[in-house]
Structure 1
Amino acid sequence: MPAASRPKHRAHDRMLRAIAVFKFFKAVLLVTVGLGAFELLRPDVAERAHAWVAALSLRSERVAAQDLLGRLDGVGSAHLEALGAGSFVYATVFAVEGVGLWRARRWAEYITVVTTLSFVPLEAHHLLRHPSPSGVSALTLNLAVVVYLLARLRRRGVSE
């Protein structure tokens, strides 16, 4: 490999590794959500949460926390189990993507493009209903990942 192309290759490897770290972060976040969902199935957790809300000193914080707890009261155990299991499934997918991207595997690039694009309609729909800067950032970041990986796959397809 010519010396002139090595720095560019390393830059691409760094970008793949950055995307892999992003996938690992998502996996950790989803494991946390899954554990939290399963934790909410325990009866003593609801009692502790209500006690914490009562202990909050600011009225505005108490109202917001009570609103959140009220929403959680309406969630059944079957829904929490599905949320927990689904979170673990997606965490596994993101972890596999992350490992594959870290190791610069082409299959991981394809899987990442497909799975990331599959979430774009959901993210866009949610963003239209609940606009927020974080939602725009998440959608933009995911689209940037897809564009980068598609360009990388196209370049690699031409060169091989």
Structure 2
Amino acid sequence: MEWNLRTCARKGHVTYAPDEDDYRARLEATTPLGDAWRCLRCGTYVLGDPHGRGPADDAPVLLRGKALRSAFILRALAIERWVRGVVLVLLGVAVLRLESTRVSLKELFRRDLKSLDPFFRQIHFNVDDSSTIHSVEKFLDAKPSTYHLIAAGLLLYGALQLAEGIGLWSLKRWGEYVAVVGTTLFVPLEVYELTEKVSWLKLVVLIVNVAAVIYLLLSKRLFGIRGGHRAYEASLHEASLLEVEASSAQPAAVTQS
């Protein structure tokens, strides 16, 4: 699929007349129907006056080529953050609800455990030596403040994930910073969990998070890397004009504005 054409079909073409003669010559064409200007996104020549004029450095930076692929990656990360955030928020709500019903749950657990005593004796299972049962009882006997602390942590982390998703989906730079900082803070915890017990899911999550951090740092030039924000904006302008210049060597259709 030609994503540039798909975007233009939804949002319309974007044409621009640069003041520099060399760029202007590559973007302008004369036809029997009148002057046409090459769309900065899809490269199609559009009849009529350009949508903007001025220096090439002031040309609008559109999502095309590398920028469009970058937007696709960021929005894929945003969806992953939203899914994780919703799960964490639901877990936080579940912990709060569990705190209000933990007395009845504790009684139900102990009653059912006692009813299974004949079965445990037959299989020679000592309930008093079971670390799993002790962990469940310890969790059910926890103080209300402990439940509140766990719920608050889950809700705050879930809200952070949802905020990251909003920033990444809207392609905002603050979202990229939040994603890098938030993800990096939890990488040591994920490494520690792998040292405790290795699983494919934990390993995949760790690889995805580390790859996302490295990609954002290098491609978006965060924290002053590779020239920082100013160099990143300059590269976007340069890439936009270079990609249109390269596509100008290919045949293009002419459409009405």
TM category (shorter chain) comes to 0.7 to 0.9
Return the offset for 1:39.
2.3
Aligned to 2:181: 114
Q: Please give the residue correspondences for 1:1-160 in structure 2 after superposition, counting only pairs within 5 Å.
A: 1=40, 3=42, 6-41=64-99, 42=101, 43-47=103-107, 68=132, 70-75=134-139, 76-77=142-143, 78-154=145-221, 157=229, 158-160=231-233
| 1:65-102 alpha-carbon deviations (Å, 9 max, x no partner) | x9655423202132222111110111111111111111
Is the CA contact 1:40–1:46 (under 8 Å) kept in the aligned structure 2? no
Moved more, 114-123 or 70-79: 70-79
Task: Report which of the two structures shows the higher radius of gyration computed on alpha carbons.
Answer: 2
Is the CA contact 2:86–2:158 (under 8 Å) kept in the aligned structure 1? yes
- Alpha carbons of structure 1 residues 122 and 3: separation in structure 2 relative to 1, 3 Å: same
Q: Which runs of 5+ in 2 are unaligned?
A: 1-39, 44-62, 121-126, 234-257
Q: Output the CA distance in 2 between the equivalents of 1:30 and 1:118.
A: 17
Q: Which runs of 5+ in 1 are unaligned?
A: none
Moved more, 18-27 or 66-75: 66-75
Higher percent of residues as strand:
2
Q: Output the CA distance in 2 between the equivalents of 1:100 and 1:51.
A: 49
Q: Output the CA distance in 2 between the equivalents of 1:3 and 1:11.
A: 14
- Alpha carbons of structure 1 residues 40 and 16: separation in structure 2 relative to 1, 3 Å: same
Q: Match of 2:174, as an amino acid? A: W
Q: Output the CA distance in 1 between the equivalents of 2:83 and 2:109.
A: 27
Return the offset for 1:8.
2.5
Return the offset for 1:45.
3.6
Structure 2 residue matching 1:6: 3-state secondary structure? coil
- Alpha carbons of structure 1 residues 2 and 102: separation in structure 2 relative to 1, 3 Å: closer
- Alpha carbons of structure 1 residues 89 and 7: separation in structure 2 relative to 1, 3 Å: same
Q: Output the CA distance in 2 between the equivalents of 1:21 and 1:102.
A: 8
Q: Output the CA distance in 1 between the equivalents of 2:111 and 2:73.
A: 46
Return the offset for 1:116.
0.5
Q: Output the CA distance in 1 between the equivalents of 2:156 and 2:232.
A: 35
* Matched-pair identity in %: 30
Report the TM-score when normalising by structure 2: 0.52
Q: Between Structure 1 and Structure 2, how many residues are aligned?
A: 152
